[in-house]
Amino acid sequence: MAYQHKQLEPRWQKYWKDKNIFITNEDKSKPKYYALDMFPYPSASGLHVGHPLGYTATDITSRYYRMKGYNVLHPMGWDAFGLPAEQHAIDTGEHPAKLTYASIENFKKQLDSIGFSYDWSREVATCDPKFFHWTQWIFTKLFEKGLAYQAEVFVNWCPVLKTVLANEEVIEGKSERGGHPVFRVPMKQWMLKITSYAERLLADLDELDWPESTKEIQRNWIGKSIGAKVKFAIENFESEKIEIFTTRPDTLFGATYMVLAPEHPLVNNITIEENKAHIAEYREFASRKSDLDRTELNKEKTGVFTGSYAINPVNNEKIPIWISDYVMMGYGTGAIMAVPAHDTRDHEFALKFNLKIIQVVSAQDNSFDIQKEAYTNDGEIINSHFLNGLNIEAAKDKIIQYLVEKNLGEKSITYKLRDWVFSRQRYWGEPIPIMKDAQGNVLRAFKESELPLTLPEVQSYEPTGDGKSPLSAITSWVQKKAKDGTLEFVETDTMPGSAGSSWYFLRYVDPFNSKQLADFEKLKYWMPVDLYVGGQEHAVGHLLYSRFWTKVLFDIGICPVKEPYQKLVHQGMICKNGAKMSKSKGNGLSPDEVIDQYGADSLRVYEMFMGPLTQTKEWDDSNLAGVHRFLSRVERFYLSDEGKSLLNSEPATQQDQKVLHKTIKKVTEDIENLSFNTAIAQMMIFLNSVAESQCKNKEILNKFLQILSPFAPHLSEELWYKCFVEEKVSPESSKYKFISLSEWPSYNPEFIIDNEIKIGVQVNGKHRGEITIPLNASQEIAVAAAMENSNVKATLEGKTLRKTIYVANRILNFVAT
C-alpha cells in the first residue's frame, strides 16, 4: 500500500498554518539564518514543476537550521509589476491588479500544497502601495544624491507596440512579440547612475560566496579598462575634436582610420555634402538594429565614409573618418581609433573597404602576414618612432607620458557599464515621484509625507503613440496646483519591474513598518541574506541592480551592510524530452498533477534526488514513481496496515547504531553543502540496512525520522504523531510539539569509526573476490579470510603460491604459477 498522501498532507499543512509554527520570532539571543528565494512574477499560468526546485532547496535548509536552534527567516513575496499583466489589461480592459492578485492567490495555493515552511506573515508584493511607498522613497534619495537624472538616450522604439523594448525583446530589428519593426531613437529617459558605483561593485565581488562564473559575468559586464583618452583634431574643423578611449595607446602609430557611432553628434557637422544622403540612409539602417545585433562578432562589417579626415596626434597623418554600427554611443566615447593590424574587427573592416594596415607590434612568427589577419599577441613595438624596441607595457607608459606632456590625452580608467535606463512609458509600474513644470523641467522630488504616489484609474491601458505613458492622459492626476498658484505636473513615466526587486529582501525584515523602510537594528541582525537561490539569467540585471541599491542605502545610513547576499546558488533547469520545461512549449508539468498522483513529499524528494542542485536534470516519471515507493516503504516500516506503530524498545545492534550515526553525519553535512541528492541516497541506504536487520528500535527510527523530515515533512509529521507522541496529544493542542520544531539529532563519533573493512583479493593482479576483515588486520588474518573465499580458493587450486602482497586495509594479492 502506498501512503495516503491525499489525506495526510493537507491535514498537516492545516495544522502548521493554524498553529503558525513557521512564524519568525525576533529572538536575537539565537543565531540567525536568512534563506531567500528569488521571488516569482505571479503569472496566470501558475507554477510548473521546474519552479519548486530552488524553493525546495531553501525550504530543506530552513527546516534544518530551525531544528539546529537557529532563528530562521524564510519569507516569500511577489514581483508583481510588469508587462504581462498590463498586456492582459490592454486586451481585456480589466485592471492589471485583478489578474495580478488572482495569480498571486493561485501561486500561494500551489506553494502551500508543496509544504513550504514560509513565514507568510511577512509576505510582500511590489505593487502594494505599502511596499512601493518605500521604493519611491528610495528613488527620492537617489535623486537627492544626484544618482537619478534625466537624459536623452537611444532606446529600442516600436511604433506599432507604442513602447520602448529591452534589447532581448528585439530580434533582427523586429519586436519579439508581433515581429514589428523596431528603431533606435533618442528619447528622454530617467537614468540611475550605477556607473558611480562601478569600482565598488567590482571590488566587493571578491568578498562574496558566489559561483565564480556569475562573478566573472559581472566583472565582464562592468568591464574595467585601464588605458588613455586621446584627442584627435579634425582637418578643416578647428573647433572640433574627436576624443577616444583606448586600452592600447601603444598602437597609436598604427591607427589608420577612425570610426564614429552612427548616432555620434559630430556626424552631421563633419559629413561632406556629397556624402550626406548616403550617411543618412546608413544611420536609418543602423537605427533598426539592437545593441546585441550590432556587437555580434561574426556579422558582416558595414559602414560609410564621412568624407572628412582626422589628424593622428603622434605622426600628424591624415586618417579617414567613417561611421559604422559596430561602434555605439553607449560604449566609451562613441568613437574609436582603428588599428587594423592588431584588432580583428578593425582588420575585417579595413579589408572590406581597402583601408591602410600598418603593423606596429612585431609577430614572433616571421611568416605571419599582417595583410591577411590581425596580430593580437605580445611582441616588440615597431614602426612607432620613439616607442620602437619597447615591450607593450613599457610603450603604454611612455606614450601616455608623451600625450600628457603635449596636452593630447591622459591616462584613464573606463568601464563598459552603462547607467541604468529607469523609465517605462507604461501604466502598471511604480509612479516616479517627481514634479515638473509646464516645459518638462524637473522641479522637485516628492516629500516623504506625500508618498506613496499611487496609480489613478485610466480609461485605456495602452501607451500613446508618441512615447508617453497612459498616465499622461489623466489630467486630474498629472496636474497639481502649487502653493503659489502655478501648475506643477507629475512625472508620467513609471519605474521598471526591477525597481521593487532591488530592495525587497530588506522589507521582509520589517514588513509592517510604516515609519521607515526597515528598522536599522533588525536589519543589523538579519542582513545579509545567508542563502539566496535563483537563476543565473539575472546576473547582470537584478543581481547587479540590487547590489547597487544596497550600497546606496549603506552610504546614506539606512542599511548596515554593503552587500545583500553572502551566498548565492543557481539552481539548474529541469528539462523534459531534452528541452527546458515551459508551459508555452507544451512540456510544462504542473505540480498540482504530480501532487495529486504522488504527493508533495514525493515531488520534494524526487526533485532533490534527480541530481546536484546546480545541474540541469531530465524529468523522468519512472524515477518519480521510484521515490514514491521509497516513501511508501518508510511508512510500511513504521506502521502496520491498521496504522499502528510497529516500533519497539528492543536493543539495537552495533551495526544499526553505525548506519544511523553515519546517516546523521552524512545528511547533516550534505544539507549544509546543499548536496541533497547524496543525502537522500544515504537515507535509502539506511532504510535498506535496518530492513535487512529488522531493526524496529524506537530511538534509532525516531532520529532517522527527524533527519528525513526536512525532505518529506508531511509523512514525517504523520509517523512522528503515530509512533512517538506517547500520550497522543492532539496536534491542535498548545502542548503538541511538531517534528518540524524538534531538535536535530547529533551523531556519536565512536559509531562513525569502522571496526571492519572490506578489501579486494587478487590473484596475479586480477580481482577474484572480496573479504571483510578487522580494521588494520595482520597479513595472517587477511590470508586466512581469503582462503575461505570459494572463488579465490578455486583460482589458486593446483597452483604454487610464489608471493603474497598485502597492504593493510587496501589490497591482498597472491602471485601464483
pLDDT, position 765: 92
Q: Where are the domains of the chain?
A: 26-138+498-574, 224-415, 754-816
pLDDT, position 2: 67
pLDDT, position 583: 61
The domain defined by 26-138+498-574 folds into: Rossmann fold (3.40.50)
DSSP, res 514 = S
pLDDT, position 297: 65
Q: What share of the chain has pLDDT > 70, as a percent?
A: 99
Q: Is the pLDDT of residue 622 over 90?
A: yes
Q: Which overall architecture, per CATH, does domain 754-816 show?
A: Roll (3.10)
> In which element (H, E) is residue 632 found?
helix 621-638
Q: Is the pLDDT of residue 169 over 80?
A: no
> In which element (H, E) is residue 684 found?
helix 676-693
348 vs 608: CA distance, rounded Å = 50
* CA atoms lying within 13 Å on the CB side of residue 388: 6
Find the range with the poorest average confidence among 14-23, 584-593, 650-659: 584-593
List beta partners, residue 531. 35
Task: Check: CB of residue 293 under 8 Å from CB of residue 261.
Answer: no
pLDDT tens profile 113-125: 999 999 999 999 9
Please compute the mean of the pLDDT values over residues 797-814 and round it to a whole number.
92
The domain defined by 224-415 folds into: Isoleucyl-tRNA Synthetase; domain 2 (3.90.740)
**Non-local CB neighbours of 216 within 8 Å, separated by 6+ positions:** none
pLDDT tens profile 61-80: 999 999 999 999 999 999 99
pLDDT, position 701: 98
Please compute the mean of the pLDDT values over residues 715-723 and round it to a whole number.
97
Q: What share of the chain has pLDDT > 90, as a percent?
A: 80
**Non-local CB neighbours of 40 within 8 Å, separated by 6+ positions:** 47, 51, 78, 79, 107
DSSP codes joined into one string, 310-363: EE-TTT--EEEEEE-TTS-TTSTTSEEEE-TTS-HHHHHHHHHHT------B--
Task: Check: CB of residue 152 under 8 Å from CB of residue 263.
Answer: no
Q: Is the pLDDT of residue 584 over 80?
A: no
Task: Check: CB of residue 599 under 8 Å from CB of residue 626.
Answer: no
The answer to whether 665 is annotated as binding is: no
pLDDT, position 291: 74
Q: Is the pLDDT of residue 319 over 90?
A: yes
Task: Check: CB of residue 186 under 8 Å from CB of residue 154.
Answer: yes
Average pLDDT, the chain: 93
Please compute the mean of the pLDDT values over residues 149-173 and round it to a whole number.
81
Question: Beta strand 434-436 with 442-445: parallel, antiparallel or unpaired?
Answer: antiparallel
What's the full length of the chain, in residues?
Answer: 817
pTM score, two decimals?
Answer: 0.88
